[in-house]
Structure 1
């Protein structure tokens, strides 16, 4: 009876839309680079939408001129690279995601303030914040979002990237990296500041 149930379970999983996820996979360098840019862009879209709702206007969020927030891309790539051994334990993984993302956000906040004398975010008015640099609500959002990223989004994106030739992915990585470095240099000389960006 147990063998029969196991066989039926495997048949259901085989036709499930999640059958090809294989979230335990290792990601190639090109996949990680392209996911960095994709999630940097997604983070930018997320924050722009928040300000459209809150302020009724489009605000180019972040230090950089381009439509990317590298803190999101960095967090996503670090989650995939550093937390692989805990992927079979979602609750532990969520806690580690919160710790990792909180650390990245805290260090980034200190670094930006040190170099530019400005804060690009301040959670001082939110419950359970630490020095206004990180807050529990944000960490919970990162934790839940990180789980979706590990178990669903990243495997689906990687499956899609595997249908693209390695040569095309390399060219795309080089082009995006070049644009990013140019934007980074320009933004260190003249950072994006002002209403809705810095406080």
Structure 2
């Protein structure tokens, strides 16, 4: 920690512990809650706001940012209101009381609401807080030279790692929505295949992450984009031949990854079966899907990733880091809720 930063003191450290404990309790709540029992109502809004707000508050506190006080006061006030509404109208009290004893629930509620109210008033009126959080955030982007030449971060630097995690989290969610769109195109007869409207995870739980799509975008950034850049140099900057060869390379990679996934995770055709569709190979991959994946990969390589990289590079890095912290807190809850569950028999993954 830089020596120029003022020591936080015991009260702020206790508040940090409180924020950390709240995040742990929310993640614990996700562990013991079956995804099918978690409704997309005020409870979902509350826990996601809590995770994002607590994570960002911890980051701001450590930076002694001048944004800390207004952010904490506003977000914690929102959390208190959402929590009250959840208890009164969402039946959250009955849900928790069904799992824990009544004294534990009451004690937890007093600690939660009492702690939240104390934090709001402390950051709003405390002289110590006013004196401590005075560091103005850096509102500049990362340095560039010669226009857009430096917008792509160097591998294994903090901005590069941070951005990859952002891409993974964002596209894991967007991948779910893309799957919904693809199924609707099947319904409309644009593509061949099957769809199941009773599949609740697809149609109803619209924040259910699709990690495969997030990983795919990370691989596109790490592997396919550099290939495109080398091809562009090899063709002396000519767009058309570079685009054609880039698309073919993307198609080969997509087909290989899709087929490898199929023979390892879908050997018995439990997840998908393309044997009845034309232009399939061993029922694991089919031409129409490979073309869709390849077009999407090419669009990301040529359009989406350059735009996102430019935005993240030129945006104030304080804001990007703050968004990153909130996004990770938000996404961590979703990952645990949907992929890790504690049952009487033990921990279940997937």
Interval of TM-score (by shorter of Structure 1 and Structure 2): 0.5 to 0.7
- Cα 1:77–1:51 change in 2 (3 A) is same
Number of residue-to-residue matches in the alignment: 169
Aligned-residue CA RMSD (Å): 3.5
Q: Does the 8 Å CA contact 2:251/2:290 hold for their aligned counterparts? A: yes
Aligned-pair distance for 1:172?
A: 3.5
Looking at structure 2, the residues matched to 131 and 24 of structure 1 have their Cα atoms a distance apart, in angstroms, of 42
> Which structure has the bigger radius of gyration?
2
Shift of 1:122: 2.1
Unaligned runs of 5+ residues in structure 2 are 1-146, 155-159, 188-194, 233-241
Check the 8 A contact 2:266/2:272 in 1, yes or no.
Answer: no
TM-score (structure 1 length as normaliser)? 0.67
TM-score, normalising length: structure 2: 0.41
* Secondary structure at 2:340 match in 1: helix
Provide the rounded CA distance (Å) in 1 between the counterparts of 2:148 and 2:276: 40
Instruction: Give the equivalent residue in structure 2 for 1:106.
Output: 259
Alpha-carbon displacement from aligned partner over 1:48-91 (angstroms, at most 9, x marks no partner)? 234356258373249x9952222222222112111213332222
Paired residues of 2:171 and 2:213 also in contact (CA < 8 A) = yes
**Change beyond 3 A, Cα 1:101–1:61:** farther
Note closer, same or farther for the CA distance 1:167–1:80 as it changes in structure 2 (3 Å cut). Answer: closer
Distance 1:52 1:151, change over 3 A: closer
1:1-199 correspondence runs (5 A): 25-26=152-153, 28-52=160-184, 54=187, 57=197, 59=199, 60-61=201-202, 66-83=207-224, 84-87=226-229, 88=232, 89-113=242-266, 119-162=270-313, 163=315, 165-172=319-326, 174-176=328-330, 178-179=332-333, 181-182=335-336, 183-186=338-341, 189=348, 191=350
Instruction: Give secondary structure in 2 for the equivalent of 1:189.
Output: strand
Greater shift, 174-183 or 26-35, is seen at: 174-183
- What's the secondary structure of 2:303's corresponding residue? helix
